[in-house]
Structure 1
Amino acid sequence: MAVETPLLNNHNGEDAEKPVSFPRKFCAESKRLWKLAGPAIFTAICQYSLGALTQTFAGLVGETELAAVSVENSVIAGLAFGVMLGMGSALETLCGQAYGAGKIRMLGIYMQRSWVILLTTACCLVPIYVFAPPILELIGETTQISEAAGQFALWMIPQLFAYALNFPIQKFLQAQRKVFVMAWISVVVLVIHAVLSWLLILKLGYGLVGAAVMLNLSWWLIVISQLLYIFITTSDGAWSGFSMLAFADLYGFVKLSLASAVMLCLEFWYLMILVVITGRLSNPLIPVDAISICMNIQGWDAMIALGFNAAISVRVSNELGAGNAPSAKFAVVVVSITSVTIGVICMAVVFATRDVFPYLFTTSTAVADLTTKLATLLGITVLLNSLQPVLSGVAVGAGWQHIVAYINIGCYYLVGLPAGILLGFKFGLGAEGIWGGMIGGICLQTIILVGITSWTNWNKEAEEAESRVKRWGGSAGEH
């Protein structure tokens, strides 16, 4: 990918024509990237840990409680999380480009429009929580686990509406680079969550009821704290109060939100399906346990990629909104090099500890041995998922969600998934075959996204960003 080097900005005008060296320019962009990615990674880890801690405490109560929380978190709440995160990601495009264009007041309007759409979506998702037991039984869970998880799902409906408010707020703050605010709020809430969860679930013996109360409370604490920050500070003029403009131009907004949801949900659910398919093997217990351990490792690693995804989305949308096409292009180069470097390091760690890390999660020699065999595939997945989410972040920042949605359908569900089923069942390769085929889908998607990003006309993207800001701005588009 060719790199365009902008000219040095010198106030005295003496060296205006002197080009900036690549290493110096790379370091400057890398510094901007890490200022966004660092807090975003930290925030993602803290919020991911809320459910993980609840699951840990539930496991100390009993096996049924652990299964209830695990299944509700991964299937029911996981489904809702994917939809809400995807729908809210439309704001990364719109808020980021509006901020880059200096149309600050539009950010608050966009956030309110997203609230309208996501709260409506949350209402549509409520039946999944209400009818969780038959849904879980349909995908193969036992009646006992389905009933327990279904009861827990009913108690977790408030979390669904917290998601609906939280994701637009996060994209609103990210677009303005106010990522440290979210990081501080998340870590404070995590500490409160850990202490009170221990008190309610274990010390006072409230079990699943205590788990539900604390998980709901923690998510709503995050939402309320962020809202108070926005309302009190007005977010440097980005928030000017509630407005009827929130209900204007909803059709175009819904289209972009749906494209974002389809794009991200297809990615978010892809590896989750791996566990479900593995459960259909003739002797599934050991393969499912081994795959689950690998997915746990992959889940923590994904938080790093999620931070870079958010950072590059902000950088690209800001620069395109400001009309700085070369800067947007160079930001993509820097984040790609950085994320792949981290991916190589993480892959090496997986390979180096392949005989050790399985025993952190299991005492079964059979499960540990299979996990060690699967570590090669885990390492490859970690490497691919260091770059693929970053390229998705570029797509969100540029507004390509609908294109990537079609790519994801083709690569993941028309190529990767059938290949995995064929290798795993038809050729008898089991869990390794299923995962290997699905990795093929990730490889294909990554190659296509690299090609699209490399051949993109960034000047044209900057013009489209300006057009998008004007089209959906309305009267809020004034400075």
Structure 2
Amino acid sequence: MDNSTEERLLLLEEFDREDLKKRVWNESKKLWRIAFPGIIARVTSFGMIVVTQLFMGHISELDLAAFGLQQSILLRFVNGILIGMSSATETLCGQAYGAEQYHMMGVYLQRSWIIDGVTATILLPLFIFTTPILRLIGQEENIAIEAGKISLWFIPILYYFVFSLTIQMYLQAQQKNKIVGWFSASSFLLHVLLSWLFVIKLGFGLAGAMSSFIISSWLLVIGEFVYIFGGWCPNTWKGFTKAAFADMLPLIKLSISSGVMICLELWYSSILVVLAGYMKNATIAISAFSICLNINGWEFMVCLGFLGSSCVRISNELGRGNAKAAKFSIKVALGTSIIIGIIFWVLCMVFSREISYLFTSSEEIAESVFRLHVLLAFSMLLNSIYPVLTGVAVGAGVQSMVAFVNLGSYYAIGLPVGILLGYVAHLQVTGLWIGLLSGVVVQTLVLSYLTWKIDWNEQVNKASERLGRFFIETTKGSDESSNLS
């Protein structure tokens, strides 16, 4: 019997000795230690977009619609790609941390910067030629022109995503995401202050709102750079190394499968926003739909905290070789997240009309948002389930499986249902949201079944094989050997 097998048996014996209450308590502590800072980071990061939209809504209805279209389509499109590509970092860093291959985490981070940076540059023309693209797909001329002006301001945000997403996953995998939470919260508060100063007090309008967004975002990244390079990650950051350029193809493949998985999910709602732009009163339809998506998205950021924590817990336990602990972690994460989903469901049902006035002073837009509040509430409830299951898939490194589930649930079922109800049945925006919800319901049911059927002992072996394939021997600092084992 080799050492790794003996270690696994010892872990299983230790796990079995604990009583159920103690196991739930210990797992909950581990879960919240990762989830809470992650929730703060994601909520405040997404909140910066929402705050920008809030101030846009008080500049003009056209700016609100243009920003809503830009944020819901283009920003969500590229953000989906970069989040997905970055989740490969989350998988590898989490499993490396569990296997105590700490020095490899810095190498994975640098590789992800290279891959995501090249990807962002490839996507750059979308921001430069936004107006012609929106014209091509038939959006209203005034909205297309205004969105084109806004899109140029989003270019610095594109490269901000490259670093912020990967660094957050790198720090989260080693359970140092508390610092990300502090940086994100500080950046959010600064953004609110600067937006008020630039837009309300100084009257800079669009330029003021977007400048505040850019400044606050990049100060967050600079703070994270200082933390990593300043010596606060001594075990996992050994300096820049040529090894980051070695054996890129397997990581690219994992990044692409991760990217496809997340993109199919995030693009789904973006396509529905495009469809809203073809309705009778496009400005009202896009504004109302994007407001609901942002309310839903903000709550989704809370659930993404549990996605991140379930990913880290699963990947850590698989890296350690403890399949039982990985399965138990899923149950605790799901139970906790569902309780939070129920709380948000109640809040949305009770305060839906009041929430809409935060985003707009238009009675027509607010009434359109209110008509969607029941569907929005149930969307929030489902948000508490499927992100955790997605996090489980990322932690196990089976992103390609979820990509196929998303493709079938959203594009074979949800999208046709939304088009049919929105246009043929003339339910307008309500029909589109029913389509969105139906896709999420199917996705949740299928992911639940697939998670239940996963052989976790087999996933332990696969994680060991994956880490062995990527492993690089290290000596000191950045003098790492480029010879792969």
2:152 is equivalent to residue 154 of structure 1? yes
**Code of the aligned partner of 1:311:** S
Instruction: Return closer, same or farther for 1:159/1:7 CA change in 2, 3 Å cut-off.
Output: same
**Deviation, structure 1 residue 414:** 1.1
TM-score, length basis structure 2: 0.89
**Deviation, structure 1 residue 115:** 0.6
**Deviation, structure 1 residue 322:** 0.9
- Residue in 2 aligned with 1:75? 73
- Residue in 2 aligned with 1:47? 45
- Residue in 1 aligned with 2:250? 252
- Residue in 1 aligned with 2:234? 236
Instruction: Return closer, same or farther for 1:166/1:368 CA change in 2, 3 Å cut-off.
Output: closer
**1:218 is matched with which residue: 216, 219, 229?**
216
Aligned residue for 2:100, secondary structure, equals coil
- Name the % identity: 43
Instruction: Return closer, same or farther for 1:165/1:130 CA change in 2, 3 Å cut-off.
Output: same
- Residue in 2 aligned with 1:376? 374
Equivalent pair of 1:109/1:476 in contact (CA under 8 Å) = no
**1:432 is matched with which residue: 423, 430, 436?**
430
**1:105-254 to 2 correspondences below 5 Å:** 105-254=103-252
2:313 is equivalent to residue 307 of structure 1? no
What CA distance in whole angstroms lies between the structure 2 residues aligned with 1:271 and 1:418? Answer: 13
Aligned pairs, number: 469
Instruction: Return closer, same or farther for 1:444/1:18 CA change in 2, 3 Å cut-off.
Output: closer
**Deviation, structure 1 residue 408:** 0.8
**Code of the aligned partner of 1:275:** V
**Deviation, structure 1 residue 472:** 1.0
What CA distance in whole angstroms lies between the structure 2 residues aligned with 1:214 and 1:373? Answer: 32
- Residue in 2 aligned with 1:3? none
What CA distance in whole angstroms lies between the structure 1 residues aligned with 2:55 and 2:367? Answer: 27
* Per-residue deviation, residues 175-216 of structure 1 (Å, max 9, x unmatched): 001111001111222222233333334434443333333322
**Deviation, structure 1 residue 20:** 2.4
Aligned residue for 1:237, secondary structure, equals coil
Equivalent pair of 1:8/1:18 in contact (CA under 8 Å) = no
Q: Alpha carbon RMSD of aligned pairs, Å?
A: 2.7
**Deviation, structure 1 residue 17:** 9.9
- Residue in 1 aligned with 2:420? 422
- Residue in 2 aligned with 1:471? 469
- Residue in 2 aligned with 1:12? none
Instruction: Return closer, same or farther for 1:430/1:200 CA change in 2, 3 Å cut-off.
Output: closer
Aligned residue for 1:280, secondary structure, equals coil
Instruction: Return closer, same or farther for 1:408/1:118 CA change in 2, 3 Å cut-off.
Output: same
Structure 1 unaligned segments of length 5 or more: list them: 1-5, 10-14
**2:264 is matched with which residue: 263, 266, 272?**
266
**Deviation, structure 1 residue 299:** 1.7
**Code of the aligned partner of 1:415:** I
Instruction: Return closer, same or farther for 1:211/1:370 CA change in 2, 3 Å cut-off.
Output: closer
- Residue in 1 aligned with 2:4? none
Equivalent pair of 2:396/2:459 in contact (CA under 8 Å) = yes
**Code of the aligned partner of 1:126:** L
**2:349 is matched with which residue: 344, 348, 351?**
351
Instruction: Return closer, same or farther for 1:378/1:70 CA change in 2, 3 Å cut-off.
Output: closer
Equivalent pair of 1:340/1:387 in contact (CA under 8 Å) = yes
Instruction: Return closer, same or farther for 1:362/1:158 CA change in 2, 3 Å cut-off.
Output: closer
What CA distance in whole angstroms lies between the structure 2 residues aligned with 1:351 and 1:475? Answer: 56
Instruction: Return closer, same or farther for 1:317/1:194 CA change in 2, 3 Å cut-off.
Output: same
**Deviation, structure 1 residue 357:** 4.4
**Code of the aligned partner of 2:118:** T
Structure 2 unaligned segments of length 5 or more: list them: 1-7
What CA distance in whole angstroms lies between the structure 2 residues aligned with 1:152 and 1:18? Answer: 56
**1:31 is matched with which residue: 29, 32, 48?**
29
Aligned residue for 2:372, secondary structure, equals helix
Instruction: Return closer, same or farther for 1:357/1:202 CA change in 2, 3 Å cut-off.
Output: closer
Runs of 4+ with >6 A deviation: 6-9, 15-18
Q: Which is further off, 253-262 or 19-28?
A: 19-28
**Code of the aligned partner of 2:331:** V
Q: Which is further off, 171-180 or 336-345?
A: 336-345
Equivalent pair of 2:76/2:270 in contact (CA under 8 Å) = no
Q: Which is further off, 313-322 or 434-443?
A: 434-443
**Deviation, structure 1 residue 280:** 2.7
What CA distance in whole angstroms lies between the structure 2 residues aligned with 1:471 and 1:328? Answer: 22
**Code of the aligned partner of 2:465:** S
What CA distance in whole angstroms lies between the structure 1 residues aligned with 2:22 and 2:221? Answer: 39
- Residue in 2 aligned with 1:328? 326
What CA distance in whole angstroms lies between the structure 2 residues aligned with 1:111 and 1:18? Answer: 35
Q: Which is further off, 229-238 or 110-119?
A: 229-238
Instruction: Return closer, same or farther for 1:289/1:125 CA change in 2, 3 Å cut-off.
Output: closer
**Code of the aligned partner of 1:107:** M
* Per-residue deviation, residues 423-467 of structure 1 (Å, max 9, x unmatched): 333333433333223322211111111111111111110111011
What CA distance in whole angstroms lies between the structure 2 residues aligned with 1:430 and 1:41? Answer: 33
Instruction: Return closer, same or farther for 1:70/1:288 CA change in 2, 3 Å cut-off.
Output: closer
Equivalent pair of 2:73/2:267 in contact (CA under 8 Å) = no
Equivalent pair of 1:137/1:143 in contact (CA under 8 Å) = yes
**Deviation, structure 1 residue 366:** 5.8
Q: Which is further off, 221-230 or 358-367?
A: 358-367
Q: Which is further off, 248-257 or 187-196?
A: 187-196
**1:293-304 to 2 correspondences below 5 Å:** 293-304=291-302
**Deviation, structure 1 residue 373:** 3.9
* Per-residue deviation, residues 328-367 of structure 1 (Å, max 9, x unmatched): 1100011111111221222223233456544555566665
Equivalent pair of 2:422/2:432 in contact (CA under 8 Å) = yes
What CA distance in whole angstroms lies between the structure 1 residues aligned with 2:350 and 2:66? Answer: 34
What CA distance in whole angstroms lies between the structure 2 residues aligned with 1:73 and 1:372? Answer: 21
Equivalent pair of 1:234/1:240 in contact (CA under 8 Å) = no
Q: Which is further off, 366-375 or 411-420?
A: 366-375
What CA distance in whole angstroms lies between the structure 1 residues aligned with 2:209 and 2:346? Answer: 37
- Residue in 1 aligned with 2:94? 96
**Code of the aligned partner of 1:321:** G
**Deviation, structure 1 residue 31:** 1.4
What CA distance in whole angstroms lies between the structure 2 residues aligned with 1:355 and 1:159? Answer: 31
Instruction: Return closer, same or farther for 1:246/1:369 CA change in 2, 3 Å cut-off.
Output: same
Equivalent pair of 1:8/1:19 in contact (CA under 8 Å) = no
What CA distance in whole angstroms lies between the structure 1 residues aligned with 2:253 and 2:15? Answer: 44
What CA distance in whole angstroms lies between the structure 2 residues aligned with 1:173 and 1:251? Answer: 24
